[in-house]
Amino acid sequence: MELSDKVVLVRVDFNVPMGNGIIMDDARIRVPVATVRDLQNRGAKVVLISHLGKTSDQTEVESLRQLIPHIEKIYKSSVLFIENYLSENTRSLIKKAPQNSLILFENLRFHPQEESCDLAFAEKLASLGDFFVNEAFSVSHRKHASVFGIPQFLPSDLGENFKKEIKNIERFFNYSSGKRMAIIGGSKLLTKIKLLKRLVTKVDKLALGGGIAGAFLSYFKNDISEVFDFGEYEADVKEVTENAKKFGCELIVPTDFSALISTKSEHAIMRSEDSNTMVFDIGPDSVKLLEDHILTSDMVLWNGPVGLFERSPFEFGTKAIAEFIAERTQNHQLISIIGGGDTGFAMKKFGVADKMTCISTAGGAFLNYVENEDCPALEAIRISHSKFGEL
């Protein structure tokens, strides 16, 4: 498509972790580079729209201005920053900008209409562009104005990385010529129960770690005290367990653990029948168990660390499994799909992020798509295609 002097609004997710004004991880800023450069090479003026800061606390919403030096360095392009993009002269500023310009609007969440998906706000934003591209898979599960509203007023499509994220997830579920294994960790069963219910009907092996594993051990009457009170989730755990049998999914739970045994931060490896201690990681026998199952799998989807990987010595389980998966991926013996913010961060910490088949920059959006195979962002693109046709 010829885009000379056309204005393309690109929804990106520059909500990067910050510490004392310093970007701690710039992965999300790098995600849309290929899409943006392609649009610029075709003569478009690219307007980046994003948020920065927590959804629930407006006091923690920050200016995107502080990211400009980093954006300019990565994109090798000067940035025209427009603070009050709802003002009458915004269209004039964009029109005066040279072809191939890179323009950045101020934080979308400075306006409450963004999160409430106010369609008048979305239409105002849409009026500033000719086309819309969503290159923010990590916010695709949010029904916000910039995600769900804008495509209703402009010809729209998905960015290349967004398409890649979806393709990798669908690749896992549509894979029919080999064994699929999912590893699900994390401390809260509440956030993963819907995911487990879907996976257990789709995969050959489902391995559990963290507090989630504790819930199942409790259900199996293999209780390690203090790990998890599964009471309110008993029906959910029962459903997953029974469906595992029904659909031929092998349920894999830890057999030993690394536990804190004193206030002096001493730790010991314990068996599942031990008690009166606090468990923070899986033990070496459990790591070997998971590795044996990975050896007989062709694809692995991993979401959620299997222990408190941020704290030594409880990084052992997550690190060992990460390195094992990375080695098999590099040897072309495994397809590895890593999803979730904490899991991706762990891969970077252990130096294996570039050795996996795919690492998603999304957390909630990754889970949402795995659970539902759809999201508000895709629904909005379908609406746009029905109104304006496909790009």
| Contact assessment for residue 266 and residue 256, using Cβ atoms and an 8 Å cutoff | no
pLDDT at 277: 63
pLDDT given for residue 20 in this prediction: 84
CA 148/CA 113 separation, integer angstroms: 12
Query: At residue 60, what are phi and psi to the nearest 5 degrees?
Result: -105, 15
For residues 284 and 319, what is the distance between their CA atoms, to the nearest angstrom? 12
> What is the spatial distance between Cα 156 and Cα 385, in angstroms, rounded to a whole number?
7
- Strands across the sheet with 278-282, in order? 267-271, 256-260, 278-282
pLDDT, tens digit, for every residue of 17-44?
Answer: 888 889 988 989 999 999 999 999 999 9
Which backbone phi and psi does 145 adopt, to 5 degrees? -60, -40
Closest listed residue to residue 263, CA positions, set 282, 278, 273, 274: 278
pTM of the model: 0.89
What's residue 383's pLDDT? 97
pLDDT beneath 50: ranges in the chain = 225-227
Domains, the chain, ordered by start: 7-154+374-388 (3.40.50.1260), 165-360 (3.40.50.1260)
**pLDDT digits over 108-137, tens only?**
999 999 999 999 999 999 999 999 999 999
C-beta of residue 79 within 8 angstroms of C-beta of residue 86: no
Q: Which amino acid is at 372?
A: N
pLDDT of residue 226: 47
pLDDT value of residue 59:
66
Looking at residue 128, the DSSP 8-state letter turns out to be: T
CA distance 140 to 145: 11
Distances (CA, A) of 307 to 312, 324, 340: 10, 16, 15
pLDDT reported for residue 265? 59
Query: Alpha helices, DSSP H only, in the chain?
Result: 27-30, 33-41, 68-75, 90-96, 119-126, 160-174, 193-199, 210-219, 234-247, 284-295, 316-330, 341-349, 364-372, 376-388
Give the pLDDT score at 334: 96
CA of 49: how far to CAs of 9, 52, 184, 231, in Å? 7, 10, 33, 44
At residue 145, the 3 state secondary structure works out as helix
Sole residue written with tokens 């510490």: 19
